Structure 1
């Protein structure tokens, strides 16, 4: 006889593992596959929505081993002394010349907006199937040409290919695919509960219909030349609008190529290219654009000083605006975080991606005292190993690229020096970097600044550069107080082992977005994105990003059953003009209010009886 020793504790543990794996992995995976391949991906029943192969040439400047002539001081600038009506594009990492572009004149802006308005008249009638096909065509082209597209973004912004892949391509593909999968549902008429009145509720249905505004605009920043440009275009076109995008003068070369990519897709699907227009100019002509009566909406991404001018100009035509400004995003590290090494990886990525030029980049790490020293020790070891350069030109491994220009180097150095003078410790960096291969390139050393407190300028002013700032808090309450102490309120993160504590902190943070035990995933998840306080107002992204580009039209109608029997709303005789009997009219209206809103049944019944008598 074989003896069998059953260890029920082991069996229960194995059962727990299998159950957790099934619920946490298998079921979500099955649901994902269903959503991806049975609800949104083209099949034999919706071939019209399938992507069409797109041919669009990659520019020579983005190809490997390209050797363009370098600019040297004082010519390393977008505005040259020789030609004040043109914009000079160059690579910030290598100062290689990319081309000169004539500024869009005011007359050209008029014509572009006029063409966009004409094209939108037919586009607003397009089906969601056509709109999905357009987005799928773009998504497929981006997927099939990831490296080339990344190189275009890198050449004009100075970032690394990895940063371009994560911050440009991945988030753009996410926005495209999310819009394809969920955009139609978001824009369907929204059935509402209707009136709370008992009588009116029996008679009326209510809904909100989303109709495109017409010609919308986006004024976008330079830090993500692909994503910042394509994001507004995706939402505008899918919601039935035309769009005029004003790109930054810092990235005209890549913006023109990316808009050309969209035009190529429109041509391939025989859709009018005039739906998407690109404007670029210097600030003196930007006011004309933002005050243009042909624009029905403006989305602005940029700085607070420029936002004041945009809003002032837009107010002339009462053009509605969504304003997304800077941030001073914090990460709160609680004392029960177990894996500080893993956390340090998130902090490094959130701080140094795109050389810190990220509106939701990590600007402050607020660490509870118990784990402060251990975290600083890990960061000190890692930051010093970061390597700078242009990875699309060098064979070496590169961690961080260049900044877009050197016009903020003096200010960043001043912020670091102010902090050190007030007691902060500078462990790495703190100054501009002279690259041995690209001495004219715009490089700033990866910087680690610790023991920072709220009295220092760098704790309150946006850096928008590669500076990892670490602050110490006595406890979680103090960490929240520090986080809320600045004027910005764009995004935050909170890390801790106790989810309920993290959730409580999230509720206390004064910002438009919070990630719990993660960084910036609120943006990837296509939630409404925007800040509070001095970080702006309004939302773009997700469902709100689509419906925000529409006129929300409220429509009330008789219920179908009433329409079927020919019952229509009419003015009852007691309150019809001219009033025949004031006392009877008053009795009718007061009984109508009681019947509609009183919770006492006997009062309601009594009011119905009085209504039947015409208010008498």
Structure 2
């Protein structure tokens, strides 16, 4: 029987005042209920914000090394439960066990990283013009941080928002996705244990489950929330940005993208196919950095497409815990959306070179499985090449030279991650300099980023306000105060 999980608010685990719960199901077999979670209300959200506001001053006054200790102790407890967390993530989100284990490991490393950064993150000293004067800056916490996170990286994304917020002295209210909340609720158990062990103030961390339409808005608009960080769809992100800025809050959004990879004339088609395949089909294509647009030099197009199809064909599709290479989509809505996009592409004249449908067989009949899909005969202005397809999909176009390839790479309103596969260093440098994306990679998949470097997009992929991760992630949650000290 599935366990029922409660919200964590004001230092205690508690049920929603609604008395309602919802089921979290395994996308590989939707008959299986992984967990039951709270269907929270506006009142629940308001109480969480009020608890965070009540703890704000005490946590801000806690020395940085002590705040770091909370993160370090949380990471240790998460590490002790690594395998449990990975299995939970795989069962509720659908990632393969290897992918889930990698994400859990990243979340642990994020908490360790910010634990160390908390000890030496401050301001800086400047040289004054006058004698007998100290001139320096300090960084102070914003206050209460509202965090709204998606299902596709259900432990990594909450971690890379929450850890820097806590390290810099903010209190947090975090709303988890309904599709995959359980793994971070278990991480919150680790955090709660660490907070109790060091006698941290109640209300520093508050974590809720429920619908975005019900509890997302009060977290964004509550007068005691000072800053909002959101990762998710563009439509919701744009709405949150407007709500937060109308209320004069600091806001950060990371949204969708339509990420290109250029395969140059000098590239080895087999190597390029592996790089593109990993970026397109890894984590079932359910990453905002996933490769979706491939721009191949016309001289290597046919060989590249053949190699990419071989790569796709080598992937074993199946349940996460069965050793598969590619798991299901996270829910039926996402699967239907991907299938609809492929149908639209065919109607627009695209050719399904590989995949494009649901796999046959008893293994797949109760899950949200789809084949890795390769489209050819696509044009840049097709809907399927302009709008994000959140599944294992890639469309292949041709280019005659690097100029045309760059023009096609930039021919979208998004700008998160872009890559080029080439042995020509001049082409690589031109691509790095001229492509309008926040993350640019040479001879590497568009997916994946080190945790200590800034992450974020340009144009419609982001609010373009602050970056996440690394020290930039801490800067977002702080405000600078300049001090003139005359003695």
Structure 1 and Structure 2 fold alike (TM over 0.5): yes
User: Gaps spanning 5+ residues in structure 1: where?
Assistant: 1-58, 62-82, 195-199, 564-616
- Count how many residue pairs are aligned between Structure 1 and Structure 2: 469
Decide whether the 8 Å contact of 2:65 with 2:118 is kept in 1.
no
* 1:119-518 equivalent positions in 2, closer than 5 A: 119-166=55-102, 168-185=103-120, 187-192=121-126, 200=129, 205-285=134-214, 286-337=216-267, 339-392=268-321, 394=322, 397-518=323-444
Shift of 1:409: 3.3
Shift of 1:162: 1.2
SS in 2 for 1:515: strand
After superposition, what is the alpha-carbon deviation per residue over 1:104-158, rounded to whole angstroms, capped at 9, x for unaligned? 2222222222222222322222233223333332333333433221101111101
Please identify the structure whose Cα radius of gyration is greater: 1
Between Structure 1 and Structure 2, the one with more strand by share is 2
Between Structure 1 and Structure 2, the one with more helix by share is 1
After superposition, what is the alpha-carbon deviation per residue over 1:404-459, rounded to whole angstroms, capped at 9, x for unaligned? 11113343223323333444331221123355135221111111222322132111
Distance (whole Å) between structure 1 residues aligned to residue 306 and residue 338 of structure 2: 24
Q: Which residue of 1 aligns with 2:53?
A: 117
Distance (whole Å) between structure 2 residues aligned to residue 188 and residue 240 of structure 1: 11
Distance (whole Å) between structure 2 residues aligned to residue 171 and residue 334 of structure 1: 32
Matched, 1:89 2:18: no
Decide whether the 8 Å contact of 2:261 with 2:294 is kept in 1.
yes
- Greater relative CO, 1 or 2 (CA 8 Å, sep 6+): 2
Decide whether the 8 Å contact of 1:216 with 1:241 is kept in 2.
yes
Shift of 1:280: 2.3
User: Gaps spanning 5+ residues in structure 2: where?
Assistant: 4-17
SS in 1 for 2:179: helix
Q: Are residues 332 and 173 of structure 1, via their aligned partners in 2, closer, same or farther at CA, if it must alter by over 3 Å?
A: farther
Shift of 1:103: 2.0
SS in 2 for 1:243: strand
Distance (whole Å) between structure 2 residues aligned to residue 228 and residue 206 of structure 1: 37
* 1:4-153 equivalent positions in 2, closer than 5 A: 85-95=20-30, 96-153=32-89
Shift of 1:207: 2.7
Shift of 1:460: 0.6
Shift of 1:251: 1.9
* CA RMSD between the two structures: 2.4
Instruction: Output the TM-score relative to the length of structure 1.
Output: 0.71
Distance (whole Å) between structure 2 residues aligned to residue 439 and residue 368 of structure 1: 39
After superposition, what is the alpha-carbon deviation per residue over 1:62-105, rounded to whole angstroms, capped at 9, x for unaligned? xxxxxxxxxxxxxxxxxxxxx99542211111111134333222
Shift of 1:290: 1.3
Shift of 1:500: 3.9
SS in 2 for 1:524: coil
Distance (whole Å) between structure 2 residues aligned to residue 193 and residue 497 of structure 1: 47
